[in-house]
């Protein structure tokens, strides 16, 4: 956390005041903070002096970007003015350097509680989103099942039509065989016919039940022995 150190400078011993501000900054740094020490402009002023008002404006510019202000003990109109500005900026105010560590722990604890509360509020929302996603998946699954069933129905109907056409062609060949046998077809032709009928019968034994025309093949078997 960026902490602005406000404390006496010109009131009392300037060197001691600068030293106190540096010691405070070291403690803040050890606690993990990033301190800003306006008193260090003392050394800048020794090399290139500037009006007091200019140093005040430089300090304010840094105060505006800090997260907190530490007010060191001692009389200081300038530090009091910086304290009032920090209050207007809603910065965290520390009147004791030992409080900065405790306050940071409290702030972290509060932030954790706020995050836990935010997570708790998000849970129902996430659950609703999961429920909606699950319902959508179920609906899509139903659509896929319906489509699969429809496709299977189309394929089945196509197979049935092909089977019927094949059975019709087979029936016509059986009828032709019956006619040839009844009219005593020449021996060479009868042999070829016998082989063809045998092939049809083997095919029928394997696939015939799917066609549903058992009576045709039953009529054919006595003719071919």
User: What is the DSSP code string of 201-216?
Assistant: HHHHHHHHHHH--HHH
Query: pLDDT tens across 96-114, in order?
Result: 877 655 556 556 656 766 7
Q: In angstroms, how far apart are the furthest CA atoms of the chain?
A: 144
Q: In 3D, which of 25, 2, 31, 7 has the Cα closest to residue 17?
A: 7
Distance CA 112, CA 209 (A): 74
Contacts of 12 (CB under 8 A, 6+ apart): 74, 75
Flag whether pLDDT at 82 surpasses 60: yes
pLDDT band at 32 (very low <50, low <70, confident <90, very high): confident
Lowest mean pLDDT among 48-57, 62-71, 118-127, 128-137: 118-127
Q: CA 87 to CA 94: how far, in whole Å? A: 11
Other Cβ atoms less than 10 A from the Cβ of 137: the count is 10
**What's the rounded Cα separation, in Å, for the pair 214 and 202?**
14
Neighbours of 150 (CB within 10 A): 10
Q: What is the mean pLDDT of the chain?
A: 75
**Domains in the chain with CATH codes:** 2-96 (3.40.50.10400), 121-224 (no CATH)
The per-residue pLDDT for 95 is 86
Q: What DSSP letter does each residue of 38-58 carry, written as one string?
A: GGGHHHHHHHS---HHHHHHH
Is residue 201 pLDDT above 90, yes or no? no
- The pLDDT of residue 143 is 63
The pLDDT, as a whole number, for residue 53 is 92
The answer to whether the beta carbons of residues 72 and 95 sit under 8 Å apart is no
Name the helix (H) or strand (E) containing 4: strand 2-6
- Give pLDDT, residue 194: 62
């Amino acid at each position: 956390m960026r902490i602005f150190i406000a404390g006496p400078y010109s009131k009392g011993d300037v060197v001691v005041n600068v030293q106190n501000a540096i010691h405070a900054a070291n403690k803040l740094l050890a606690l993990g903070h990033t301190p800003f020490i306006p008193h260090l402009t003392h050394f800048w002023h020794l090399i290139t002096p500037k009006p007091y008002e200019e140093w005040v404006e430089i300090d304010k510019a840094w105060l505006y970007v800090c997260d907190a202000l530490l007010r060191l003990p001692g009389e200081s109109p300038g530090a009091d003015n910086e304290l009032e500005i920090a209050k207007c900026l809603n910065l965290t105010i520390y009147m004791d350097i030992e409080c900065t560590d405790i306050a940071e722990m409290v702030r972290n604890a509060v932030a954790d509680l706020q995050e836990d509360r935010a997570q708790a509020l998000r849970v129902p929302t996430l659950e609703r989103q999961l429920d909606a996603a699950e319902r959508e998946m179920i609906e899509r699954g139903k659509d896929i099942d319906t489509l699969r069933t429809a496709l299977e129905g189309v394929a089945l109907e196509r197979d049935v039509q092909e089977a019927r056409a094949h059975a019709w062609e087979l029936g016509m060949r059986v009828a032709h065989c019956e006619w040839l046998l009844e009219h005593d077809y020449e021996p060479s032709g009868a042999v070829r016919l016998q082989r063809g009928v045998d092939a049809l019968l083997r095919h029928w034994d394997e696939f015939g039940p799917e066609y549903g025309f058992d009576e045709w093949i039953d009529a054919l078997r006595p003719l071919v022995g």
